[in-house]
């Protein structure tokens, strides 16, 4: 809508939402907006249509046709604005504009008949103040009667008497201004209301501004009181706000409702008042129900067309003046001889229906009424009537007269409004009308008197007065709302959704038999009284003495929520795949938007900061039939197509987070990530950029103790879908978006420029506490080698009734992973907090020991027995020891036990991470084992064969050459730390950076020596070794030692070393070790009867975590072979 003169636009007012949002501006919404705004409530009114000024209304047939919307669901035809809905055997005309139905109706205002108020469905509570509310509505709408009797009223008065049983001619009161003087000017300086010109064009919108439509009374008062009005803004559905908070006046609290104007944008408020008309309000509630809002089963029931039946009489010789006049004709015809307002005569039959004659506006295409939507009576006259009319036009003779007849009565109010889930559109079955035959007979009698031809509607029920669908009732079994307009929550019969109201014609539970405009406004006045009381009580409870909305600030705007200066891209994307082994399809509608493009310059790109146009919001739906039979609608979606972790500066992530709502009321969270690593010369680029690794979780209801759903899977975008996605891009920033997206992929895969800096790591104060003191014991092994063992005593053990067994920690080949003084948490401190005494073995391969040619077998044969002997010397020979081992340490303890160097009677339990008696390497690690890396490295190093890893260490040109070669070797994940690059080049990646805080198996022939409880832990993302390492060991122990506890855990997201040194290890890994030790302590280490597994059954079993081994395929590892062979050839 164009911004009106004298009306300013409010700046961005989405920050804290509104107290109340009113949807619709007809006889219901305008009343609610006015009453709340004048009471100081912060109100926003949303109107689907635009604001119509007097000069905007159509005055000829072509303009009228451009203002009509036609829909045919079977043919898939839709054109024009959403003004009318043709549906099966019914024709429903609905208005679309600021003012709702009051813009284009006849403005007839009749008090609600006693018959309707005595209907059993009529709420008794309405009767308490109905007359008061009716008087209030009549005063606001400025109801008047015309002093003149126009030609159509005279003719109908002469012919109607005695033609249909006993009839009574009623005086017609209208919300039309017949005063000669204009009302006082208002401060908004809007178009002043004129006096009626009796032109007869009311049903197409008054072109002379004489109609008292709601935009000239209720809405003017609301705007004066500070109400914000957004036109061209259609509310789609409402949901309870899942997590949004706001801070009005410094008070942090949560707005209770979201009103969505499309699948992405929404406005928040504490109250929502639905006044979008019968079809509009019902559709909003149906759409909301599909997104989890609990509503009564009676939604859409009790629909009434108010007994409407329309007919068109043409070819009459009576002087009814049934056509509207244009401006030129007005000057030629006296006032009393003009057609008058659209309806100026009304006759009520004793049979229970009322017939009113109406003027056909000048803009209405009369051909629409002469056969296109009608059939004739008497039959066969249609053709001749058309010829005669055209001849009279051609010869300039006086044309025959035509009028519209409108019958209203009491139908059964048993119609049904439904939502067609295939088309996502409203459809309805009209109610039964037992008086329809009598109305047709009455039409035929009147037509004979008028001497014309009757054109009857082809539709069984032609409705211009729609009622019901959200009927007011005492409980949810009889309707959707209570008498106040509060929407029922069906969990209990009288429970309501706090803050959700209906305030329009859909509340009316039965036919009223006459023009229902005043009845609707009266019901809205009644509901507004309780609504206002509810709001003020709530506001005083949460914020006593809060300020009212600003007065004298007037806002009417048609601008969307997005800024006009924003760069916007609209994207549609479809992904398909399997989640938890079940098919799942995600249909996304994404909007990427940036409002500060100028602030993003080239310096941001060089530092790796992602462009704001690569972040956005998402709507759409998910089809996951195995979980919910209906669609899962996205009510809150976010995505970022260039997420960077400063710990993995070479890796780019595309992250999605979708909050889903089901019709059942359940809510789910689907989170996904595309991981793009510049490994293997970008050969994985297509797979990585089109594969979304997802988790699907059910949101636990408050107070629920049930185990929630937690599924994992992958979704992929096909080439065809990706092509459709790029073709369907819309928005003023689509070119810029494509450029930026390609730019990030080139940087990741080709240029391989890291993003961010290591200075982005922040040091926390969480580890300021001093590290527990320890002692170092020198131990001589059986072969004479001196090893060391760090020993942490636990002071708290002195106060325990039962002493806990000591724990021996075994490291991997070279790196320390248990004792991390510079980190906020490690396994040593975790075990000490549990009350255990901790021993950490530093084997002969430890970096602090002199260089030697020792093997892992030497550790298992000599070092571990010596360490266990030292612990037994301190605690006594009957002591049992828990052993926790990693990588090569795990292999060494298996050698010690199964080789007979250590007795299992001294071991309480064994916990291994990524190690066991089996080592299943990744393809990359296996290839490196095959290659002559050691001879080549020794040839490069020469005599000084000790390679200093630290960058600050001095080294020869040979050392620098070898480190350069190591950094050039392909690996799955790169790092900006040169020491890490060298280490991973030599050994392979040992851990996933995102988790870091900023030979012959001869011993397997003795399984009887492993009479202990075991725990094997693997990382879910394979590095160096695969999860088969723990799977085979766990299967081996279950087969050979069934009398003991044997567990196996795969920790998602972790690799190899990061299982113990990761930032979240104390949350995701350590608890498994602690739990295993606790269970063993409680049960003791005695062999107890447990389930025996047959070898055949264990052989049948496959690794349930096989899906985790996606990385390091053999095909891409061949690139390393080619690279190293080429290097070897150059050196020779």
pLDDT digits (tens, 9 = 90+) for 401-440: 888 899 999 999 999 999 988 888 888 888 999 998 899 8
Token reading at 829: 């401190």
Does the pLDDT value for residue 588 go beyond 80?
Answer: yes
Q: Which residue has the higher pLDDT, 89 or 67?
A: 67
Q: Is residue 838 part of a domain?
A: yes
The answer to whether residues 266 and 287 belong to one domain is yes
Q: Are 374 and 312 in contact (CB under 8 A)?
A: yes
pLDDT of residue 161: 67
Ramachandran quadrant class, 582 (left: phi over 0; alpha: psi -120 to 50; beta: rest): beta
Does the pLDDT value for residue 505 go beyond 80?
Answer: yes
Quote the number of domains for the chain: 4
State pLDDT tens for residues 213-236: 999 999 999 999 999 999 999 999
Closest by Cα among 651, 728, 634 to 685: 651
Q: Is residue 483 part of a domain?
A: yes
pLDDT of residue 1026: 77
Separation of alpha carbons 85 and 463, rounded Å: 10
Q: Which residue has the higher pLDDT, 920 or 1118?
A: 920
Q: Which of 732, 760, 788 is the last residue of a domain?
A: 760
Separation of alpha carbons 274 and 527, rounded Å: 12
| Best-predicted range by mean pLDDT (34-43, 242-251, 601-610, 854-863) | 34-43
Taking the CA of residue 65 as centre, how many other CA atoms within 13 Å lie in the half-sphere pointing to its CB? 7
Does the pLDDT value for residue 609 go beyond 80?
Answer: no
Q: Are 165 and 409 in contact (CB under 8 A)?
A: no
pLDDT of residue 956: 72
**3-state class (DSSP) for residue 1111:** coil
Separation of alpha carbons 1022 and 54, rounded Å: 72
Does the pLDDT value for residue 140 go beyond 80?
Answer: yes
Does the pLDDT value for residue 672 go beyond 70?
Answer: yes
Closest by Cα among 978, 935, 936, 989 to 955: 978
Does the pLDDT value for residue 138 go beyond 70?
Answer: yes
pLDDT band at 180 (very low <50, low <70, confident <90, very high): low
Does the pLDDT value for residue 10 go beyond 50?
Answer: no
| Best-predicted range by mean pLDDT (79-88, 221-230, 445-454, 565-574) | 221-230
Q: Which of 443, 463, 483 is the last residue of a domain?
A: 463
Q: Is residue 1007 part of a domain?
A: yes
Cβ contacts of 99 within 8 Å, gap of 6 or more: 25, 26, 30, 52, 213, 214, 215, 216, 219
The answer to whether residues 795 and 725 belong to one domain is no
CATH code for the domain in which residue 861 is found: 3.40.50.1820
Q: Are 90 and 459 in contact (CB under 8 A)?
A: yes
Q: Is residue 716 part of a domain?
A: yes
Q: Which residue has the higher pLDDT, 915 or 685?
A: 685
Closest by Cα among 752, 734, 623 to 677: 752
Task: Write out the residue range of the structural domain in which residue 1009 sits.
Answer: 775-921+996-1093
Q: Is residue 981 part of a domain?
A: no
State pLDDT tens for residues 691-725: 999 999 998 876 665 667 889 999 999 999 999 99
The answer to whether residues 226 and 324 belong to one domain is no
The answer to whether residues 587 and 671 belong to one domain is yes
pLDDT of residue 495: 93
The answer to whether residues 836 and 882 belong to one domain is yes
Q: Which residue has the higher pLDDT, 933 or 445?
A: 445
The answer to whether residues 723 and 781 belong to one domain is no
pLDDT band at 795 (very low <50, low <70, confident <90, very high): confident
The answer to whether residues 365 and 281 belong to one domain is no
Does the pLDDT value for residue 200 go beyond 60?
Answer: yes
Share of the chain above pLDDT 70, in %: 72
Does the pLDDT value for residue 78 go beyond 90?
Answer: no
Does the pLDDT value for residue 763 go beyond 70?
Answer: no
pLDDT of residue 84: 39
The answer to whether residues 418 and 454 belong to one domain is yes
Q: Are 509 and 481 in contact (CB under 8 A)?
A: no
Phi, psi of 608 (to 5 degrees): 90, 10
The answer to whether residues 532 and 669 belong to one domain is no
Note the helical H segments in 1021-1113.
1028-1040, 1058-1061, 1065-1068, 1070-1083, 1095-1100
Mean pLDDT calculated for residue range 523-529? 97
Q: For the whole model, what pTM was predicted?
A: 0.78
For residue 378, say if its preceding peptide bond is cis, omega within 30 degrees of 0.
yes
pLDDT of residue 1030: 80
DSSP percent split of the chain into helix, strand, coil, nearest 5: 30, 25, 45
CATH code for the domain in which residue 273 is found: 3.50.50.60
- Range from 4-13, 328-337, 808-817 carrying the lowest mean pLDDT: 4-13
pLDDT of residue 387: 57
Q: Which of 409, 439, 463 is the last residue of a domain?
A: 463
The answer to whether residues 809 and 743 belong to one domain is no
Judged on CB neighbours under 10 Å (0-12, 13-18, 19+), 300 is: buried
Does the pLDDT value for residue 662 go beyond 50?
Answer: yes
Does the pLDDT value for residue 1055 go beyond 60?
Answer: yes
Report the interhelical angle of 130-141 vs 29-38 (nearest 10°): 90
pLDDT band at 600 (very low <50, low <70, confident <90, very high): low
Token reading at 970: 């392909």
Q: Is residue 618 part of a domain?
A: yes
Q: Is residue 266 part of a domain?
A: yes
At which residue do the structure tokens 């879910």 appear?
1020
Q: Is residue 786 part of a domain?
A: yes
Closest by Cα among 265, 294, 317, 456 to 374: 456
The answer to whether residues 413 and 432 belong to one domain is yes
State pLDDT tens for residues 964-1019: 777 777 666 666 666 666 666 665 555 555 555 553 344 455 667 778 888 888 88
Cβ contacts of 1101 within 8 Å, gap of 6 or more: 1035
Terminal CA-CA length for the chain: 80
The alpha carbon of residue 167 and the mean position of all alpha carbons in its chain are separated, in whole angstroms, by: 57
Going from the C-alpha of 975 to that of each of 241, 399, 758, 869, 1061, the distances in angstroms are 41, 89, 10, 42, 17
- Range from 283-287, 391-395, 406-410, 534-538 carrying the lowest mean pLDDT: 391-395
Q: Which residue has the higher pLDDT, 1124 or 948?
A: 948
State pLDDT tens for residues 510-524: 999 999 999 999 999
The answer to whether residues 317 and 284 belong to one domain is no
Does the pLDDT value for residue 1098 go beyond 80?
Answer: no
**3-state class (DSSP) for residue 558:** coil
pLDDT of residue 143: 93
pLDDT band at 337 (very low <50, low <70, confident <90, very high): confident
Mean pLDDT over all residues of the chain? 80
Note the helical H segments in 852-956.
856-858, 864-875, 888-898, 923-930, 933-941
pLDDT of residue 83: 40
Q: Answer positive or negative: Cα dihedral of 574, 627, 658, 607.
A: negative
């Amino acid at each position: 809508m164009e911004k009106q003169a004298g009306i300013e636009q409010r700046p961005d007012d989405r920050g804290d939402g509104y107290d109340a949002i009113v949807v619709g501006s007809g006889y219901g919404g305008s009343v609610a907006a006015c009453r709340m705004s004048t009471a100081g409530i912060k109100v926003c009114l949303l109107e689907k249509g635009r604001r119509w000024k007097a000069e905007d209304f159509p005055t000829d047939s072509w303009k009228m046709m451009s203002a009509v919307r036609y829909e045919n669901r079977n043919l898939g035809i839709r054109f024009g604005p959403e003004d009318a809905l043709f549906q099966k055997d019914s024709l429903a005309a609905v208005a679309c504009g600021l003012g709702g139905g009051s813009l284009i109706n006849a403005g007839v205002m009749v008090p609600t008949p006693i018959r309707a108020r005595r209907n059993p469905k009529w709420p008794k509570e309405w009767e308490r103040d109905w007359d008061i509310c009716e008087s209030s509505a009549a005063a606001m709408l400025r109801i008047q009667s015309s002093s003149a009797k126009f030609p159509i009223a005279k003719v109908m008065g002469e012919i109607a008497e005695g033609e249909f049983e006993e009839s009574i001619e009623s005086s017609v009161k209208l919300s039309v201004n017949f005063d000669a003087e204009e009302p006082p000017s208002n401060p908004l300086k809007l178009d002043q209301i004129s006096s009626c010109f009796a032109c007869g064009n009311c049903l197409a919108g008054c072109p002379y501004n004489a109609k008292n439509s709601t935009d000239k009374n209720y809405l003017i008062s609301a705007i004066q009181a500070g109400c914000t009005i957004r036109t061209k803004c259609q509310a789609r559905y409402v949901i309870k706000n899942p997590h949004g908070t706001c801070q009005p006046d410094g008070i942090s609290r949560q707005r209770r409702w979201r009103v969505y104007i499309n699948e992405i944008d929404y406005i928040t408020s504490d109250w929502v008042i639905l006044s979008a008309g019968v079809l509009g309000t019902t559709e909003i509630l149906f759409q909301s129900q599909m997104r989890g809002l609990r509503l009564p089963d009676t939604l859409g029931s009790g629909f009434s067309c108010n007994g409407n039946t329309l007919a068109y009489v043409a070819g009459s010789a009576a002087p009814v003046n049934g056509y509207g006049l244009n401006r030129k004709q007005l000057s030629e015809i006296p006032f009393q001889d003009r057609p008058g307002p659209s309806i100026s005569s009304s006759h009520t039959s004793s049979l229970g229906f009322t017939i009113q004659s109406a003027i056909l506006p000048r803009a209405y295409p009369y051909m629409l009424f002469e056969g296109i939507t009608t059939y004739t009576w008497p039959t066969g006259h249609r053709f001749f009537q058309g010829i005669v009319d055209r001849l009279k036009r051609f010869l300039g003779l006086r044309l025959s007269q035509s009028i519209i007849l409108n019958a209203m009565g009491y139908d059964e109010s048993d119609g049904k409004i439904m939502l067609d889930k295939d088309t996502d559109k409203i459809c309805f079955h009209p109610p039964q009308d037992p008086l329809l035959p009598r109305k047709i007979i009455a039409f035929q009698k009147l037509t004979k008197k008028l001497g014309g031809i009757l054109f009857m509607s082809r539709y069984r029920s032609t409705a211009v007065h729609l009622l019901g669908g959200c009927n007011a009732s005492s409980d949810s079994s009889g309707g959707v709302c209570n008498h106040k307009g509060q929407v029922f929550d069906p969990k209990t019969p009288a429970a309501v959704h706090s803050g959700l109201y209906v305030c329009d014609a859909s509340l009316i539970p039965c036919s009223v038999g006459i023009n229902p405009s005043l009845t609707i406004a009266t019901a809205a006045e009644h509901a507004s009284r309780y609504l206002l009381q509810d709001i003020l009580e709530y506001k005083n409870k949460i914020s006593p003495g809060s300020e009212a909305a600003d007065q004298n600030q007037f806002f009417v705007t048609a601008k969307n929520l997005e800024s006009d200066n924003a760069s916007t891209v609209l994207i549609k994307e479809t992904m398909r795949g399997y989640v938890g082994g079940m098919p799942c399809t995600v249909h996304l509608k994404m909007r990427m938007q940036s409002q500060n493009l100028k602030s993003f310059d080239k310096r941001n790109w060089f530092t790796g900061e992602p462009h704001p146009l690569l972040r956005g919001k998402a709507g759409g739906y998910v089809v996951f039939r195995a979980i919910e039979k209906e669609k899962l609608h996205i009510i809150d979606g976010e995505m970022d197509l260039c997420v960077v972790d400063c710990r993995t500066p070479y890796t780019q992530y595309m992250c999605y987070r979708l909050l889903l709502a089901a019709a059942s009321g359940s809510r789910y969270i689907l989170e996904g990530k595309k991981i793009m690593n510049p490994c293997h010369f970008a050969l994985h680029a297509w797979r990585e950029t089109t594969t979304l690794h997802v988790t699907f979780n059910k949101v636990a209801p408050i107070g629920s103790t049930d185990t929630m759903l937690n599924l994992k899977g992958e979704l992929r975008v096909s080439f065809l879908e990706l092509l459709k996605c790029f073709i369907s891009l819309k928005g003023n920033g689509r070119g810029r978006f494509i450029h930026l997206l390609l730019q990030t992929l080139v940087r990741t895969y080709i240029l391989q420029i890291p993003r961010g800096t290591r200075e982005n790591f922040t040091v926390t104060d969480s580890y300021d506490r001093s590290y527990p003191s320890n002692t170092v014991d020198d131990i001589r092994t059986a072969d004479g080698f001196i090893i060391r063992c760090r020993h942490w005593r636990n002071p708290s053990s002195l106060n325990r009734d039962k002493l806990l067994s000591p724990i021996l920690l075994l490291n991997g080949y070279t790196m320390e992973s248990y004792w991390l003084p510079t980190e906020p948490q490690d396994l040593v401190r975790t075990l000490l907090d549990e009350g255990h005494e901790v021993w950490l073995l530093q084997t002969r391969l430890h970096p602090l020991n002199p260089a030697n040619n020792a093997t892992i077998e030497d550790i298992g044969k000599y070092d571990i027995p010596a360490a266990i002997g030292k612990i037994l010397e301190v605690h006594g020979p009957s002591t049992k020891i828990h052993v926790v081992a990693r990588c090569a340490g795990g292999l060494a303890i298996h050698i010690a036990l199964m080789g007979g160097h250590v007795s299992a009677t001294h071991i309480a339990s064994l916990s291994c991470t990524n190690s066991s008696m089996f080592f299943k390497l990744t393809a990359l690690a296996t290839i490196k084992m095959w290659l002559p890396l050691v001879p080549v490295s020794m040839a490069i190093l020469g005599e000084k064969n000790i390679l200093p890893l630290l960058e600050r260490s001095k080294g020869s040109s040979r050392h620098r050459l070898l480190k350069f070669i190591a950094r050039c070797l392909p690996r799955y994940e790169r790092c900006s730390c040169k020491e890490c690059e060298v280490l991973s080049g030599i050994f392979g990646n040992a851990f996933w950076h995102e988790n870091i805080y900023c030979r012959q198996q001869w011993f397997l022939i003795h399984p009887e020596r492993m009479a202990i409880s075991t725990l094997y832990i693997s990382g879910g993302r394979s590095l160096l070794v695969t999860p088969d390492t723990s799977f085979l060991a766990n299967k081996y122990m279950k087969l050979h030692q069934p009398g003991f506890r044997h567990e196996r855990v795969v920790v998602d997201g972790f690799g190899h070393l990061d299982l113990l040194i990761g930032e979240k290890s104390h949350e995701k890994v350590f608890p498994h070790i602690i739990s295993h030790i606790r269970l063993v302590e409680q049960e003791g280490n005695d062999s107890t009867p447990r389930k025996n597994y047959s070898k055949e059954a264990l052989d049948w079993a496959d690794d349930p975590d096989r899906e985790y081994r996606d990385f390091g395929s053999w095909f891409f590892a061949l690139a390393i072979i080619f690279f190293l062979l080429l290097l070897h050839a150059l050196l020779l």
